[in-house]
Amino acid sequence: MAEPRPRVWVAQPLFDDIVARLHAHFDVVQVPAVVEHDAAAVADALREADGALVTLNERVGEAEIAGAPRLRAVANLGVGYNNLDVAALHARGIVATNTPDVLTETTADFGFALMMAAARRVTEAERHLRAGRWQGWNFKGLLGADLHGSTLGILGMGRIGQGIARRAAGFDMRVLYHNRSRLPADVERACNARYVDFDALFAQADHLVLVLPYSAASHHIVDAAALARMQPTATLTNIARGGIVDEAALADALAHGRLASAALDVFEGEPAVDPRLLALDNVVLTPHIASGSLATRRAMVALAVDNLIAALGAGPDAGRPPTPIAPAGRDAKRPGTA
């Protein structure tokens, strides 16, 4: 009698043609429609699963895996993985993986687009026009800030931060960065970037972009004190994680003219957005779509599928998933990057 095939849970509808590769090796249980799983639902889905392919919407921690004795691998869709308790997974011998690299360029593109939209008041101007308030060309109307020749600050100089720095060269921007560790000199030269301390970054940047990983240490690292160091003409763009920014402090700074504008693709209480931010004209708000190009999202699913197949001991890379998350919480493929 043949042994039963491993069972895999796919937590959200993805791309059927790519997910179909899992069927060659496993019994696949896929959620047919987008759903918000609570902790009990995740725990129930994992109870008889050998592997899982999850998104940032699914929290997988000690409680969710407690009743899942067969679980051996969790493949996360995203470069960030604060939805996973990596320590708890590794303590149980469960392999965790993420999807770095494949979304770097798309996310850097979008971060630059958001920064430009905030600086030039693009969404504010569109709302002004759509509301019928535009009465004709105005020489001093909706004046914004230039990017060319300005100072770009990057907090978190990993793959995506470096991608943004490379794009800044086309705008003749001076690039400053702060990171948990300084980059090698050759990488700094390639990015035309100079390392500064945290306070100097906030004080000197005309346009500040947040691209650092979320952790307990980075929670609300951009607080009222940090925002107070910024120039009142500066902009802030967040494409990292919402919890990095104290949104109440940010809303206060924007409302009282202590910061010119902001652009946010991520929010602490997603999908809820602080109503104070919604009420402000000088903030660009998008629904967590920085990696949202069709080609990139397909590449993310393909990598997650590769990770899961290999982590569960199947396919040509059996036992060697391409992008495992190291026990310390850093991507094992490229230690030392943010």
Active-site positions read 241, 270, 288
Distance, CA of 307 to CA of 275 (rounded, Å): 39
First to last CA, the chain: 48
Alpha carbon 27 to its chain's center: 30
d(CA 157, CA 166): 11
Cα torsion 241, 247, 251, 253: sign:
negative
